[in-house]
Amino acid sequence: MRSLFLHNNGSVLTVLTACAHLGALTQGLWIHSYAKRYNLDSNPILATALVDMYSKCGCVELALSVFEGIPNKDAGAWNAIISGVAMNGDARKSLELFSKMAIDGTRPTETTFVAVLTACKHAKLVEEGLTIFEQMDTLYGIEPRLKHQACVVDLLARAGKLDRAEKFIEEKMGGIGGGDANVWGALLGACRIYGNVEIGNRVWKKIASARVADCGTHVLSYNIYREAGWELEAKTVRRLISESGLKKKPGCSVIEVDGVVEEFLAGDLFHPHAPEICKILASLFNVVYVVE
């Protein structure tokens, strides 16, 4: 059974994808070890999956090592390493890899630009990001989609250029109606961070008039108003959330301990270790209370 599994590229690829999603490094290393033994890692698709898995587990050097060993790198391999390096905080390295991709003669895809723009937004590389966004159409003939535009809005918003972000939404995306929750959330989140209640107020009014049914954006607006002391507006948002029956999705996190992946949901009392978790949390609250 094990032999059949190891010689089945599809099975190995499926397990590697699961390891990447869960951050299960121990299992991923095991799969890589056996893939080497049976020479499965010579398959470019599996090698790309290894790059993705190591990146999502935070092992950038291992991801780069596997990537460098791929003889004929296609767009998928380049996308995996550019995206992987970006998600681990090295924006400059991502841009360097993007340049190498062009030198290599590999044509970038829509996914490539999402990865590079994501790198730029996390490092607040505004001008570099805007240049790359413009090159999508002018240099590569790729029409920017909503996911690319959302990256630009987030890039401008994170850098504190809220007026430019708002203008971009109006001019490039057709206003609030042309965006989605990620776009509005990026701008509203930045408004809260930078304390810009005026722009936040304008954005929320447009969201409310468009009847946007996303709880997260309304909660952000509520927090902006409350922290700015705009109590009347905060109550208005609160009432809208209640009357519309909007509910925020619970947060979810996963962690690997001793080779076992555990998943946690905010407010989940059905986890098998819920009593122990609550007990530890209670003890932590007591410690915090005593210190204060």
What's residue 41's pLDDT? 78
> How high is the pLDDT of residue 292?
42
**Could you please report the per-residue DSSP string of 219-252?**
HHHHHHHHHHT-HHHHHHHHHHHHHHT--PPPPE
**pTM recorded for the entire structure:** 0.75
Domains held by the chain: number: 2
Q: Which domain holds residue 234?
A: 161-249
User: CA 71 to CA 43: how far, in whole Å?
Assistant: 10
Asked if the structure places residue 221 within a domain, the reply is: yes
The answer on 223 and 168 residing in a single domain is yes
Residues linked to residue 289 through DSSP beta bridges, in sequence order: none
CA 248 to CA 190: how far, in whole Å? 19
pLDDT at 1: 40
Q: What pLDDT was estimated at residue 181? A: 72
Residue numbers of the chain with a pLDDT score lower than 50: 1-6, 289-292
Q: Are residues 271 and 214 in the same domain?
A: no
214 and 270 part of one domain: no
Q: Which residue in the block uniquely carries the two structure tokens 């209370």?
A: 289
**Residue 191 lies inside a defined structural domain of this protein:** yes
Note the pLDDT tens digit of each residue in 3-38. 444 456 788 888 888 888 888 899 999 989 988 888
Report long-range pairs for 94-103 (Cβ below 8 Å, ≥24 apart). 94/119, 95/119, 95/120, 95/125, 95/128, 98/132
Do 245 and 280 fall into the same domain?
Answer: no
Domain co-membership, 234 together with 269: no
Does residue 237 sit in the same domain as residue 285?
Answer: no
193 and 237, same domain (yes or no): yes
55 falls within a domain: no
The Cα–Cα gap between 113 and 168 comes to: 18
Q: How far is CA 167 from CA 16, 120, 154, 163, 164, in A?
A: 42, 19, 13, 6, 5
CA 15 from centroid of its chain's CA atoms: 22
Token code pair at residue 7 = 């010689």
Query: Domain check: are 168 and 235 in the same one?
Result: yes
Reported residue count of the chain is 292
In a domain, 220, yes or no: yes
Q: What is the pLDDT of residue 42?
A: 82
Helices 146-158 and 181-194: crossing angle in degrees, nearest 10, is 0
Q: Looking at the structure, tell me whether residues 170 and 205 fall in a common domain.
A: yes
> In terms of domains, do 258 and 290 share one?
yes
**Residue 204 is assigned to a structural domain of this protein:** yes
Residue 270: the pLDDT is 58
The type of residue at 270 is F
**What was the pLDDT predicted at 191?**
93
Residue 242 sits in the same domain as residue 260: no
Q: What is the DSSP string of 107-165?
A: PP-HHHHHHHHHHHHHHT-HHHHHHHHHHHHHTT-----HHHHHHHHHHHHHTT-HHHH
Cα gap 292→289, rounded to integer Å: 5
| Claim to verify: residue 237 and residue 169 sit in the same structural domain | yes
